[in-house]
Chains A and B, each alone.
Chain A
Amino acid sequence: MIKVLLVDDDKMSGTLLKALLEKKEMECTYLNDTKKVLEHIKENSYDIVLLDIMMPNISGLELLSEIRKHHNLYDLPVIMVTSKDETEDVVSALKIGANDYLTKPVNIEVAVARINTQAHLKELVEKSLSTEQMQTITTLMTTLHHEINNPLAIVVGNLSMGAEKITEMKVEKSLNALNRISEILKQIAELGRQQSKMHEKSFGSKSKMYDLKKN
């Protein structure tokens, strides 16, 4: 079931649209207090936001700007609800980051079609990101396996020397080898850090630590 947050200062329009969307089996939360919108979005998980443009206190455009500071176009689609004569505002809204718009009085069939389109796009992007995430992890694990395996063989070899007679020359050689390995491991750690940073940029807070002991 698609979860919709509907924001409109006009109780009549809000009540009407909420009722019509619920008839189309959408889960709709209606807010007419613009001050609570950002808090609501933070605390709940919505698939889509329907935002009236002209409202007192804070306009729909200002609210949209605030939403876009935390959510991109695919993460949280926003459809603006406007009057027929608000063309300029529609253009501004699309420039700021609105996904689409609806005109009042809202035709419910048009509204449902546009909501479904945005929800479907959101789902596709999420699926594609998740595939991309898996590919990145696989590549990273293969690289790590290769990069760690070779120095590990040297460490094991040097440790096994403990059973043999250790000469001063052998100790110096081992220390040099271990020093090189520590440099390699540092580079691997740096690579991991960079990958993790890039990952965070692409996928936001969805990136997680991979527990090697567990897996």
Chain B
Amino acid sequence: MVGLMSLVDFEQIKIHFGGDKDLIDQLIVIFRETYPQVMKDLMKAIQDESHKDIELHAHTLKGMVANLFCEEIAKKCLELEERGRNNKFKGDELSIVKEIKDLIVKMLNEFENNL
């Protein structure tokens, strides 16, 4: 069942993928395989204060979660991407990454329970 506070827009998923469960499964597998490295790269970029890399990795992660119609995580990624693009940091970037990490776990659980 999709809860009221669902992270994933399952209605959009249904429309976008035309009910192709195999394709969604395939994407989730790719996501599980690739996102840990992207998160690692993003954290390293923040620690190194490399604004270009922050922009790039946050952008990649944003694209990945956007494909899974998870707006809340995409917004947080966009926030980091813009900070990287404009080279303007507030010092809480690592905690945003932590929030993203927690939300991704939640998102993956939603997919497991709703597909």
Q: A residues touching B (Cβ–Cβ < 8 Å)?
A: 9-13, 15-16, 19-20, 23, 54, 56, 83, 85, 104-105, 107-108
Contact = CB atoms under 8 A, between A and B. Distances in A.
Given A15-B26, A16-B27, A105-B66, A9 B60 contact: yes
A13 B78 contact: no
Interface in B28-46: 30-31, 34
A108 B18 CA distance: 10
Nearest to B18: A23
Contacts, number: 46
Contacts of B56: 54, 56
A10 B64 contact: yes
12 contacts: A11-B30, A12-B34, A12-B63, A12-B64, A12-B67, A15-B30, A23-B20, A83-B59, A83-B62, A83-B66, A104-B63, A104-B66
B12 to A, nearest CB: 8
- Counting from the closest, the 10 A-B pairs by CB-CB distance are A12-B30, A12-B64, A10-B63, A105-B66, A105-B67, A19-B23, A54-B59, A11-B30, A12-B67, A13-B63
Contacts of A11: 30, 34
A85 B84 CA distance: 14
B16 interface: yes
Contact of B67 (A13, A23, A54, A108): A13
B76 to A, nearest CB: 14
Contacts of A15: 26-27, 30
Contacts of A23: 18, 20
A105 B20 CA distance: 16
Given A19-B23, A105-B16, A105-B67, A12 B31 contact: yes
B69 interface: yes
B63 A83 contact: yes
